[in-house]
Amino acid sequence: MGLTGTLLSILSFLNLAELGIGAAISIFLYKPLQANKKTEMSELISLFGYIYQKIGYIIAAGGIIVSISFPFIFKNTSLNICIIYYTFYCYLCASLIGYFINYRQILLTADQKNYVVTAYFQTASIIKTLIQIALALYYKNLYLWITLELIFSILSCIILNTKINQEYPWLQTNLKRGKELLKKYPKVLAMTRQIFIHRLKDFLLNRSDEIMIFAFVSLKMVAYYGNYSLIITKINQLIATVLNSVDAGIGNLVAEGDKEKIEKVFWELMAIRYFFSGVVVFSLYQLIDPFITLWLGSNYVLSHTVLTLLLITVFIMQTRGVIDIFNHAYGQYADVWAAWTEGGINLIITVICGTLWGISGILLGKIVSLVPIIVIWKPYYLYSEGFKENIKVYWKEVGKYYIIFSICFLCFNLISSALPVSPAESFKSLLIYSLCTIIPFAICYFLLLLYYSKGMKYIINRFSFIKKFIRRT
């Protein structure tokens, strides 16, 4: 766990060479898709493939250079250096497939067909994980475990590209026209440079935890933290699969320019996002420690302070999603100063506090940097430059979400502490405890949001039979 977490963080740093070109291309694809301009779409995908190919070569070279230092980086680990190299190069090859072969999948994403990509990759991931579990139980061979990562990446690539050929038989890409197309679409590189700064900042916040813990604490604590991170990441991926699939739809909505409809959809998505985020955070707060205890043992449970800081981070990162989607749809990446400020605050506080307080200090650095930029600035940026409205409208509504969640969290936390069931006794008691706490919390939280927030009312109004039932009751 510690090894793979550290290697994936290193690989994520190399992937910063992607520069955000994918996000930039997707923005420029929305209008051609609306107008069904197949030639323009083919040119943009060709440009994307050309740049991605160059990036792939840079990442491959960077990976080889970085790997030279592995004997020094991992000199204190008991793992054989061969498994470290084999793991890294399998992950590196799996990553390079996306740059050299899978670049055309961006058209599916921009065309609101990301469910195709998600379906193939999630199905492959589930099958791969089940096989890995079986191999871990019967063979206990790390090489087999890692080899499956590469094999399933190749299989997913073949199946996905076959599907793309079926969906877009007219799509003709010519990477040799790359230089010519760069001159034809100069705005792509201009926006890419802006997005790159934001991607660099996101890496510092989202993918540097393991590296920081490795640097300031130990590789062993990377594994301890990785247990929590694994559970949270999988839950976040599940939510993202459902909620982030609207990216392309929002891009097309903004391209249409119907302000009233844009605002209505915005508040619907905000209500959904805050509801799911609140339920997830409360559930993790109640269940993750007893689950870790039952799964691995009480020695693997992190301190309550670490858990609290981690869940504050999760809540902020989950609830920011709608703001990010709309800023992306409007192509608003010019606030590069915000990215530098957020990244700088995070790095400085993490280095200072991480040295003093370990994992708690690293998470504190992340939270302190998130609040002024993500919680305060980004909504202001969207409202002032995108919606062209006063930010007071936003805070008047969002303030209700914070108050409702806080009240529900505190009340049900007190109620759960009085329950006679101990969730750490067995998986059966954990299940009973979760049913007695999470379901009542979710129902109460939903009803309060429905009563006080306009976003949840908009959602209910979409379903006439629910609306009639509520009126009758």
Q: How far apart are CA 102 and CA 259, in angstroms?
A: 35
Is residue 279 within 8 A of residue 236, CB to CB? The reply is no
Q: How far apart are CA 409 and CA 278, in angstroms?
A: 8
Give the 3-state secondary structure of 424-458: CCCHHHHHHHHHHHHHHHHHHHHHHHHHHCHHHHH
**Distances in whole angstroms, Cα of residue 379 to Cα of each of 212, 231, 321, 327, 449:** 29, 29, 11, 9, 20
Q: How far apart are CA 189 and CA 20, in angstroms?
A: 10
The phi, psi pair for 80, rounded to 5°, reads -65, 140
Q: Name 387's Cβ contacts closer than 8 Å, sequence gap at least 6.
A: 259, 262, 263, 266
Q: Domain-by-domain residue ranges, the chain?
A: 1-192, 208-462
Distance, CA of 26 to chain centre: 18
pLDDT for residue 469: 47
* Nearest alpha carbon to residue 190 among 47, 385, 382, 21: 21
Q: Name 213's Cβ contacts closer than 8 Å, sequence gap at least 6.
A: 221, 222, 225, 358, 359, 362
Q: How far apart are CA 24 and CA 392, in angstroms?
A: 30
Q: Kindly report the length of the chain.
A: 473
Q: How far apart are CA 179 and CA 182, in angstroms?
A: 5
Buried b (16+ CB within 10 A) or exposed e, 412-436: beeebeeeebebeeeeeebeebbeb
Angle at 346 between CA 341 and CA 349, to 5 degrees: 120
Is residue 326 within 8 A of residue 250, CB to CB? The reply is yes
Q: Name 212's Cβ contacts closer than 8 Å, sequence gap at least 6.
A: 350, 354, 362
Condensed to tens digits (0 to 9), the pLDDT of residues 135-163 reads 888 888 888 888 888 888 888 888 888 88
pLDDT for residue 368: 92
pLDDT for residue 16: 61
Query: At how many degrees (to 10) do helices 247-256 and 321-329 cross?
Result: 50
Distance, CA of 469 to chain centre: 36
* Nearest alpha carbon to residue 52 among 100, 120, 111, 123: 100
Strands (E), 157-231: none
Distance, CA of 344 to chain centre: 21
Rounded-to-10 torsion of CA 133, 139, 143, 146: -10
Condensed to tens digits (0 to 9), the pLDDT of residues 332-383 reads 888 889 988 988 888 888 888 888 888 888 899 889 999 999 999 999 999 9
Q: How far apart are CA 162 and CA 168, in angstroms?
A: 10
The pLDDT profile of the chain, 473 residues, written as one tens digit per residue, is 677 777 777 777 666 655 567 777 777 777 777 778 888 888 888 888 888 888 888 888 888 888 888 888 777 777 788 888 888 888 888 888 877 777 787 777 777 776 677 777 778 888 888 998 898 888 888 888 888 888 888 888 888 888 888 888 888 888 888 778 878 877 777 777 777 787 777 776 776 777 788 777 777 788 888 888 888 888 887 777 677 667 767 877 887 777 888 899 999 999 999 999 999 999 999 999 999 999 988 888 888 899 999 999 999 988 998 999 899 888 888 888 998 898 888 888 888 888 888 888 889 988 999 999 999 999 999 999 989 899 999 999 999 999 999 999 999 999 988 888 888 889 999 999 999 999 999 999 999 999 999 989 888 887 755 555 445 55
Condensed to tens digits (0 to 9), the pLDDT of residues 269-327 reads 999 999 999 999 999 999 999 999 999 888 888 888 999 999 999 999 889 989 998 99
Q: What percent of the chain has pLDDT over 70?
A: 93
